[in-house]
Chains A and B, each alone.
Chain A
Amino acid sequence: QKEVEQDPGPLSVPEGAIVSLNCTYSNSAFQYFMWYRQYSRKGPELLMYTYSSGNKEDGRFTAQVDKSSKYISLFIRDSQPSDSATYLCAMQDTGFQKLVFGTGTRLLVSP
C-alpha cells in the first residue's frame, strides 16, 4: 500500500462547478500538507500548503486537513477551463526533507 493514495481521475466538470480533490495517507507523522498543480509537460507549481489540521483559503481555493481521518482535500470554487491540469497532493514529516506525493488527479473543466 502506498503512503499517499489519490484517485487518478480524470475528473470532468462543467465551468463554474465546485471541485473536490482528495488524498488519504497512512503515515501519522506527516505534518505539512501541500497541493501542487501541474500542467502538461510542465513542472509542478505549489498552490497551497497547510501545517497540521485545519482549513486554509486562498481565493477560489480551500485546503482542508483532517489528521484524525488522515484525509486532505482541495476545493476549487467557480472552476475555470484554465484550472484543467493534474493536481498532486504532497506531504512531509518534520523530520525529513523529502515530499511524498500522491499520483495526481487529472481535472478537466469544460467551457
Chain B
Amino acid sequence: GAGVSQSPSNKVTEKGKDVELRCDPISGHTALYWYRQSLGQGLEFLIYFQGNSAPDKSGLPSDRFSAERTGGSVSTLTIQRTQQEDSAVYLCASSSRQGRYEQYFGPGTRLTVT
C-alpha cells in the first residue's frame, strides 16, 4: 500500500516568509508525528497527534511553529517568519495505535531559508 507522503519535497524561502509543509499518513494510521532533521543533529521530535486527543506540542522550538491535523488524516506544519536556523529536513511519520513504536516515515521536505 501507499506509504507516508510529504509535499513539497523541497522548499526554498526567504527569511521572514511563512511556509506550510504537508503530510499524508498511511491510511488507517491514527498517530502522526513531525520531526526535524538538521545536519549532524539527528532527528528532533516536534509534535504528535493521536486521534481526537489534544496534540503533544512539547517539541515545538518556538511559537512560530504550529501544526494541525484535519479529519484525523492530513497534517500541515506551518512555520511563520522563517529564520535561517529553520533550514532542515522536516519528516513526518505515522503509526497504528497498537504499534506506536513502529513509526513509518515519509521522504521529508527539505526546507532552505535564504
Contacts and interface: CB of A to CB of B under 8 A. Distances in A.
A92 B101 contact: yes
Contacts of B104: 46
Interface in B54-113: 56, 58-59, 91, 93, 100-108, 110
B45 A99 contact: yes
A92 B102 CA distance: 10
B97 to A, nearest CB: 10
Contacts, number: 60
Contacts of A8: 40
Nearest to A36: B105
A99 B101 CA distance: 8
A46 B107 CA distance: 13
Given A8-B40, A44-B91, A104-B42, A99 B103 contact: yes
B42 A43 contact: no
Interface in A44-79: 44-46, 49
Contact of B102 (A6, A49, A100): A49
22 contacts: A8-B40, A36-B105, A41-B107, A43-B4, A43-B91, A43-B106, A45-B105, A88-B42, A88-B43, A90-B43, A97-B31, A98-B48, A98-B59, A99-B45, A99-B101, A99-B103, A100-B45, A101-B35, A101-B44, A102-B42, A103-B40, A103-B42
Interface of B: 4, 31, 33, 35, 40-45, 48, 50, 56, 58-59, 91, 93, 100-108, 110
